[in-house]
Structure 1
């Protein structure tokens, strides 16, 4: 008899904090047969709700959301380390990928465990018989949610272990192993990048047709799948489709940009009820594990605070000191004996002395902390409405529709409190050489420390400038061209040893 270990959950809108015994209720059963699960719509519904928990659950210190963040954001030019660390996140930060990285191994294994659970549930849904018309509608919704989650895991995987779709030939570049079944998963070879993207596209298109219920933004609704398609097509440089799907989300009427007054507190609001958030993984106070949360390295109040906001990003941000996005920077001022800030004419950003460690000013991001004003609590945001506008901006720029691109950019800049000559026009590019460069910098400003930047640089065939990262403990390169093998994470050694059919990514020499 085959068994699957599963939590049977009493569903409530507050459950999605991370599937722990502290914040959900369990029926008195912890292990049932796969046949029992997959023959009951009720049990399958519980299983699928449980599949959301893979986005935040952890078997060790770090959950999927933290490992996903560590293998992407730390490679960006928005961060700087203020003291050396032997933690495995340093392999990402220094562009020295290794198959021995426990962080990469966790990311890989969390992903494929989730995909297996999703596939089991899908097979059960497909095999249900004798359902009422009402239950058929419910089954479609659940399957749509489930396969959307699978598309997310695969999209994250292929962007970490495969080259961007825009590089060389996606039909020959290697992606990741693919499976839509719970059987015959041993010894899978890596699909190509093209095959992986086609798999994801198929899942998203099917999800969009199946999803029929407007749920809150901690669950998957049709618009979430449409947002996923818009992002996918942008990465594939199918710009017309990216625009169409972004418009479908914008015009749905379900989401609105936060006002200029509310925007600076975006990080402090839980996702439910936030008009701009399209999809987020809700974390509750009972899920807060302090320094092991997603922002554990990025802020010192409850976290380690060893990763600061880079001078490169600060220079861009302070081109307009009245930009409301300045509010997401938490400055650690040096104080005198009376507790007052100390003037410092050499500080071009704030005009006061700032605490330094290893000569690195302590500018922390608040994007990943202070939800409900609680240190380290954060619900990872996967899609928000601002991205739909900037997807359109990038797609328009690449299509040569530059005026439309700037119109989208200015919507975001106006919300950030900018006006007049701070807005872009074709006769006022403010020193930029191209409209595309304007769009990419606006995306950098808007989504700083949200996990976008590394992908945006390399898929657009840009060079990551890390020249600011020179200090006594730094061992990484100062410049990383998009052609470098350093941008590819190595397949974890443990997975290579288990599967002779896996081909390792090339090691870096540049």
Structure 2
């Protein structure tokens, strides 16, 4: 009887969208006899895959805000019930990516990789190759994000816990395609991500930095994500080599040429595409309803440039104190006031809704990251090279060079500080602390979260653990 109930629950979960790693693709619209008999059918699947990444539960909001307020870059300036748990690092108040958007995107990618090369699929072969490259890149991105939310980086495990997401590499179309699986280790998933990105690099075209080509996966984006993966993995020589390869491909020079000049930095976040974008999510009015912008957009939640904006989140005082005189990155925050808050608060000028109705594109991978990846990869073995990379970035942010004797831990601290300021409100801060095994620092009177605290990892939804007896919950939950 218990097994009958379990199987029934299994089929019910499969029947709805958003069923996490057992996500199915609607069979009535994606049968080989109908939609998937030519390259344009697979292109439609790729569009679905990209759209999932733009959802408010993913890069459209959560993955940009939550990693900042889980750490010390952001603060709440209005009480609406949103992000209160994350600001306080409450039990089970973390990033929720174990959902249909992420695993559904993985399933879209699996569908493309599994079927697009079939001889029955008609269409241009070059286009097929590019779409397959899109799928490899996006599958790598989806799995990379799952790993950093739900698992420890290799070599940074607490009490030997090394599990990551469930790894699925074939499409789930109907219930009979699905099965209950155990979680793979983060190391195993990283190996798959590395393989996917290498495949993507071989298939994708190069596109100029800041061009409309960055709205889709491309060679530079794949190499940059590979460099980021190696940094998280602790493979510093590989991270340096990949970052250098990407910089050479994209025309980024050791003196900072290729980055936005300091006088254009703030304005660059109101341009589509961003002139430093290597990979950017393009949002259009058709991508959301009339109320989505004011209710859920980054612009509405973090800015006050529209009277209807919610403006519930601003920069922490601790972040604002890190900016040096002349640092143009400080100008991405506008000092204002908020009822019920003593002293100034700081509204974002990064997310300005410049396309109208709170709408804007989302630069996910920017060129500045390559300088800081390479600096971090170099700091122990080539501190002069690391300082040169930092100085190249600083020269385009209105700042002078760092001390030419800076090395060791102070050099590492400087790199972390530059990352904190450069990527504020772009979803890096929490992960930069976590991947280095550091305590999660907080603003104001909120208590620091020790790296060994269970709240450093997100919890898997209880419903999924109850459904799948092979699914091990993260420690502490």
Range into which the TM-score falls when normalised by the shorter chain: 0.7 to 0.9
C-alpha displacement of 1:140: 1.5
8 Å CA contact 2:152–2:158 kept in 1: the answer is no
TM-score by length of 2: 0.84
Q: Deviations over 1:406-457 (max 9, x none)?
A: 11001111101112xxx2133368xx95211111101111111110111111
Secondary structure at 1:303's aligned position in 2?
coil
Q: Secondary structure at the match of 2:364?
A: strand
Query: What residue in structure 2 maps to residue 349 of structure 1?
Result: none
Distance change in 2, residues 1:428/1:118 (3 Å)? closer
* Number of residue-to-residue matches in the alignment: 435
1:5: Cα distance to partner? 12
Which segment drifts farther, 240-249 or 358-367? 358-367
String of CA shifts for 1:115-137, please: whole Å, max 9, x gaps: 112211222213235868xx333
* 1:305 aligned partner: 311
User: Does structure 1 conserve the Cα–Cα contact (< 8 Å) formed by 2:165 and 2:185?
Assistant: yes
2:414 pairs with 1:438: yes
Question: Is the alpha carbon distance of 1:417 and 1:199 closer, same or farther for their aligned partners in structure 2, counting shifts above 3 Å?
Answer: same
Spell out, residue by residue over 1:310-364, the C-alpha distance to the aligned partner (whole angstroms, 9 max, x if none): 11111101xx2211112100111xxxxxxxxxxxxxxxxxxxxx55633363211
Partner of residue 195, structure 1: 188
2: CA distance between counterparts of 1:186 and 1:360? 55
State how 1:99-498 maps to structure 2 within 5 Å.
Answer: 104=95, 108-129=99-120, 135-168=124-157, 172-183=161-172, 184-212=177-205, 214=207, 216-253=213-250, 256-271=258-273, 274-286=274-286, 287=288, 289-300=293-304, 301=306, 302-317=308-323, 320-332=324-336, 354-355=337-338, 357-359=340-342, 361-372=344-355, 374=356, 376-397=358-379, 399-419=380-400, 423-427=401-405, 434-466=410-442, 468-470=443-445, 477-498=446-467
Q: Work out whether 1:80 is the aligned partner of 2:104.
A: no
Q: Give a deviation string over 1:44-74, Cα, whole Å, max 9, x none.
A: 123213321111146xxx5653233344232
Residues 148 and 37 of structure 1, relative CA distance in 2, 3 Å threshold = same
Q: 1:67 and 1:242, CA in 2 relative to 1: closer, same or farther beyond 3 A?
A: same
Distance 1:172 1:411, change over 3 A: same
Structure-1 separation of matches of 2:103 and 2:55: 13
Q: 1:154 to 1:308 in 2, by over 3 A?
A: same
- Change over 3 Å in CA distance of 1:199–1:130 after alignment to 2: closer
Q: 1:428 to 1:81 in 2, by over 3 A?
A: same
TM-score, normalised via structure 1 length: 0.78
Name the counterpart of 1:51. Answer: 49
How many Å apart are 1:263 and its aligned residue? 1.3
Aligned residue in 2 for 1:90: 84
Alpha-carbon separation, structure 1, partners of 2:309 and 2:150 = 28
Return closer, same or farther for 1:131/1:376 CA change in 2, 3 Å cut-off.
closer
Worse overlay, 214-223 or 402-411: 214-223
8 A contact 1:37–1:124 mirrored in 2: no
**Greater Cα offset, 206-215 or 175-184:** 206-215
Cα 1:170/1:307, change in 2 over 3 Å: same
CA deviation profile, 1:470-496 (whole Å, cap 9, x unmatched): 3xxxxxx51112221111111012322
Q: Distance in 1 between matches of 2:246 and 2:321?
A: 33
